[in-house]
Amino acid sequence: MDAVSDSTIQEILNGNMRTIARLISLVERNAKERIELIKKLHQYSGKAHVLGITGPPGAGKSTVTDKLIGEFRKRNKRVAVIAVDPSSPFTGGAILGDRIRMMNHATDPDVFIRSLASRGHLGGLAQACGETLRILDAAQYDIIIIETVGVGQSEVEIVRYADTIVLVTVPGLGDDIQAIKAGIMEIGDIFCVNKADKDGTERTVREIRAMLETAILNNAPTRFTELYASYYKNHQSDSAVQHSFAGHHGITNLPGHELPIPLPPVIATVAETGKNIQELADAIILHGTMLKETGLLEQRRNENLLWEIENMVLDMVTEKINSSESRNQLEKLVASVQLRKLDTFEASRKLFEYLLH
Amino acid sequence: MARKIKVLVAKPGLDGHDRGAKVIARALRDAGMEVIYTGLRQTPEQIVQTALQEDVDVVAMSILSGAHNHLFPRVMELMRQNKLDDVLVIGGGVIPEDDIPGLKAAGIAAIFTPGTPTSTTIEFIKANLKRSLE
Ligand SMILES: Nc1nc2c(ncn2[C@@H]2O[C@H](COP(=O)(O)OP(=O)(O)OP(=O)(O)O)[C@@H](O)[C@H]2O)c(=O)[nH]1
Ligand SMILES: [Mg+2]
């Protein structure tokens, strides 16, 4: 198959699943042709609403994703899923099990699901995921969901491709919340307490709200504060919006703030039965609307692109620094440092200049 | 660096448990392969669409219920309809000797009956892939 012929590009734009699948494989094995492919597809991408779903292992991310696909299909949206699963650090092999929960959608021609192992991509997980995203975006899926586990840096960071991030957690995991607080709390836009059929759900919902309030009080850099506040303010006389904020979002009065402050939605779901999944889907779609209406979508995508490009450059540097020529150069520099002809700063400076050539 | 072999492990039909399929899935993973597992009770349509979307090199199916003479050929038919001719398809499970020639004629490359060491299956896959790992 000629990866980048015009007819291939046309097949992707038409949503030909077989072509899409084959081209994702091209990306996965870091084949050179993919560079031209991504270049040609770039102009057709940028329309999809990209959704990141993350949270601790076993929280129900795949089950939530499965039910969300159903909700989005009811609203006539075409949906694609990138399900990232950890690889074994020993053999590099992997069992990609997220799909088990989504088999109901296997034969739907408007749903495309692809599993991605977390390791073994020459260009790194972030690159493989980003390029897969471009292909699916060009294939005109309305919503693209990235499911990734909320542990391990490379796994977590790929939610940064998303416009909307849903954090899935479960009741009664005190430590879990601590872990979330330590890093990904700030990046969540919507909070989902799944397995709400279990004890302690209300308490966990309260704890998350309390944490969100604290974050706002401390002026912590969150993704959500500005967006919700601005949308809420613009729609002060819109009763539907006011109602939605009074519901799952919650509104809080904080000392030092004149106006009440809207919080992100915290939604208790039972993914297994579908309870409150409709509300979750509504919140996700509303979040997309808010991003567009407030103009913050562009800002967010700017931030995402900044991260993506920065990340790609770091990958390029890593690749280059690991080349045998660079290693040779480095060894020579080390020798000079040992002989006290160069200090370490001078040596690193010289290597840096060498890498730029 | 060669890419990883990608295998779909699927359970067509109405079998009540999937212990055997899970054992083989783990063995393939430990051999360094990427395994996509579908879970129980999949239709041939679901299996073939999954193989297509995941762009796998191998489909490995296991059946205990006795419906292999219907389900395996049906999967092969759909594989052909979807032009997935370069995918290696193998089968396993409780399958009488007499049925094996017919299944092979339908396009199943090999049938592994209970008691086959997983290493045999792994070697067969490595030796019979229809696509390059470059
Ligand atoms: N009680 C209960 N169990 C649930 C619910 N949602 C999912 N589960 C179960 O939780 C287990 C894990 O679900 P998954 O959807 O695979 O969770 P996950 O977060 O995708 O898991 P990983 O991808 O392995 O991290 C499964 O056994 C589900 O059936 C729920 O709302 N209530
Ligand atoms: Mg999962």
Q: How far is the CA of B30 from the centre of ligand 2 (A)?
A: 20
pLDDT tens digit sequence for A93-147: 999 999 999 999 999 999 999 999 887 776 778 889 999 999 999 999 999 999 9
Tokens (6 digits) for B98 = 């007499």
| Residue of A115, A116, A141 to mutate when probing chain B, most B C-beta within 10 A | A115
Number of domains forming the structure of chain B: 1
Q: To test ligand 1's pocket by mutation, which of A155, A272, A277 has the most ligand atoms within 8 angstroms of CB?
A: A272
Neighbours of ion ligand 2 (CB under 5 A): A 61-62, 98
Name which of A67-81, A267-281, A331-345, B2-16 the model is least confident about: B2-16
Please name the residues in contact with B128: beta carbons below 8 A apart, sequence gap of 6 or more: B88, B109, B110
Q: How far apart are CA A46 and CA A63, in angstroms?
A: 27
Strand partners, A81: A113, A145
CA of A283 to the centre of ligand 1 (A): 21
Q: Which of chain B's residues have a Cβ under 8 Å away from the Cβ of A118?
A: none
**pLDDT for A58:** 92
Q: Which residues of A touch B1 (CB under 8 A)?
A: 122
In a domain, B83, yes or no: yes
Residue B134 counted as domain residue:
no
Is B133 domain-assigned? no
What pairing do the DSSP bridges indicate for beta strands B58-63 and B34-37? unpaired
Q: How many CB atoms neighbour CB A203 within 10 A?
A: 13
Identify the burial level of A253 via C-beta atoms within 10 angstroms of its C-beta, where 0-12 means exposed, 13-18 middle and 19 or more buried: exposed
- CB-CB contact of B61 with B41 (8 Å): no
| A28 contact residues in B (CB cutoff 8 A) | 3
Question: Does ligand 1 have an atom closer than 6 angstroms to the CB of A272?
Answer: yes
Distance A67 CA to ligand 2 centre (A): 13
**Which residue type occupies A231?**
Y
Asked if residues B119 and B112 have their Cβ atoms less than 8 Å apart, the reply is: no
User: Whole domain around residue B34: which residue ranges?
Assistant: 6-128
Structure tokens at A20: 């899409």
φ and ψ at residue A89, rounded to 5 degrees: -70, -15
Question: CATH no. for residue B59?
Answer: 3.40.50.280
Three-class DSSP category at A98: helix
Q: Are strands B6-10 and A266-268 parallel, antiparallel or unpaired?
A: unpaired
B26 contact partners, CB below 8 Å, separation of at least 6: A95
Q: Report the nearest-CA residue for atom 7 of ligand 1.
A: A60
Amino acid symbol at A356 = L
Least confident of A136-150, A169-183, B105-119: A169-183
| B40-74: burial string, b at 16+ Cβ within 10 Å, e else | bebbbebbbbbbbbbbbbbbbbbbbebebeebbbb
B72-99 pLDDT, tens digit per residue, is: 999 999 999 999 999 999 999 889 999 9
Does A94 contact B at CB distance below 8 Å?
A: yes
Rounded Cα gap, residues B71 and A40, in angstroms: 41
For chain A, the residue count is 357
List the single residue in B29, B39, B52 with the smallest CB-CB distance to A18.
B52
- Is the Cβ pair A107, B49 closer than 8 Å? yes
CA of A272 to the centre of ligand 1 (A): 8
ipTM over 0.90: yes
Residue closest to A330 by CA, chosen among A314, A345, A350, A316: A350
Q: Tell me: the pLDDT tens digits for B9-25? A: 999 987 777 888 889 99
Indicate the residue type of A69: I
Burial of B2 (0-12, 13-18, 19+ CB in 10 A): exposed
B36-54: average pLDDT: 94
**In-domain check, residue B60:** yes
Higher pLDDT, A176 or A238: A238
- Cβ–Cβ < 8 Å for A12, A19: yes
User: Does the Cβ of A145 fall within 6 Å of ligand 1?
Assistant: no
What's the rounded Cα separation, in Å, for the pair A212 and A177? 12
Give chain B's end-to-end CA distance (angstroms, integer). Answer: 8
